[in-house]
Amino acid sequence: MVPFNFARLTRVMLLSFVVFITIPAFCQEIGVQLYTFRNQIPKDIPGMLEKISKMGIRELEGGGSYGLPVDEFKALLKKNDLKIVSVGADFKQLDENPMAAVEAAKTYGAKYVVTFWVPHDGDFTIEHAKKAVEVFNKAGKILKENGLSLCYHAHGYEFTPYEEGTLFDYIAQNTDRRYFNFEMDVFWVKHPGQDPVALLQKYPGRFPLMHLKDRRPGTEGNQKGQADVETNVVLGSGDVGIAAVMKAAKKAGVKHYFIEDESSRSMEQVPQSLAYLKSLK
């Protein structure tokens, strides 16, 4: 009979515990916003979905079928082990017919609905922000009742100064976090002169979704929601500070990350961005 070695068993159990608590920190899923490949997908839908899958990507943000019958598109997603996590919805649709957004999300099995723009002519004002709060609270409650979460993707104009903060602060502080939160695009936080890390720390738990995008150093910012798409560079090579963002994002409760590269070099840059994110691990 082999003698029982309590000390050895203790060491094994301790090692197993360390591995167990360490692995989740190194297994963050990185997805892609399909707009990244807006020029390539329509030319070869099956081929591009296969290429995306071969990059190691499993989670997508999207919402359309690129002209294919929906069931056919969903079959291609399944074939390539791809899952739609969030879909887009127009602000007007959320205001007038939020159930249409519910139906679209459920069609693709998504958990999140994201709206990307609040309509405004000229400057974004407090009146626009108040309208956004009204729509987000109303539609968010309906989506929540249907098992979905509503988020808003800011584009920079929301950081116009207002009272002691910005109009973004007004929206964040006057919406019900039970029904409505945000998708942070780190480029569009940096571009109007804000700090993505500071914003994550200011509103922990309000950013379940994140767009990962880096900006060419030296790019002039603005609060208009406008930028040259060619200023999108490989993650880690720009001035957004992706490494610090990833660290803060984990602490702030970000659940899903999507690379969004709007440049003409997305096919080359996305694999490089994925490699950079893996190097952070």
Written as one letter, the residue type at 166 is T
Contact 273, 236 (CB under 8 A): yes
pLDDT over 70 for what percent of the chain? 90
CA 245 to CA 202: how far, in whole Å? Answer: 13
Evaluate the CA torsion angle 253, 157, 87, 261 in order and state its sign. Answer: negative
Instruction: For residue 149, count CB atoms less than 10 angstroms from its CB and return exposed for 0-12, middle for 13-18, buried for 19 or more.
Output: buried
Q: Is 176 helix (H, G, I), strand (E, B) or coil?
A: coil
DSSP for residue 224: S
pLDDT, average across residues 144-166: 97
For position 113, what pLDDT does the model report?
A: 98
CA 78 to CA 278: how far, in whole Å? Answer: 25
Evaluate the CA torsion angle 239, 32, 176, 104 in order and state its sign. Answer: positive
| Domain extent listing, the chain | 29-280
Beta-carbon neighbour count of residue 64 at 10 Å?
A: 14
CA 3 to CA 174: how far, in whole Å? Answer: 66
84-108 per-position pLDDT tens digit: 999 999 999 999 999 999 999 999 9
For position 28, what pLDDT does the model report?
A: 72
HSE, side-chain direction, 13 A CA sphere, residue 16 = 6
Mean pLDDT over each residue of the chain, to the nearest integer: 91
Confidence of residue 13 (pLDDT cuts 50, 70, 90): very low
HSE, side-chain direction, 13 A CA sphere, residue 242 = 26
43-94 per-position pLDDT tens digit: 999 999 999 999 999 999 998 999 999 999 999 999 999 999 999 999 999 9
Token pair belonging to 101: 């957004």
For position 63, what pLDDT does the model report?
A: 82
End-to-end Cα separation, the chain, in angstroms: 44
219-259 per-position pLDDT tens digit: 999 999 999 999 999 999 999 999 999 999 999 999 999 99
Residue 14 has pLDDT above 80, yes or no: no
For position 246, what pLDDT does the model report?
A: 97
For position 166, what pLDDT does the model report?
A: 98
CA 47 to CA 40: how far, in whole Å? Answer: 9
pLDDT, average across residues 207-217: 98
For position 18, what pLDDT does the model report?
A: 35
Residue 135 has pLDDT above 50, yes or no: yes
Residue 26 has pLDDT above 80, yes or no: no
CATH topology of domain 29-280: TIM Barrel (3.20.20)
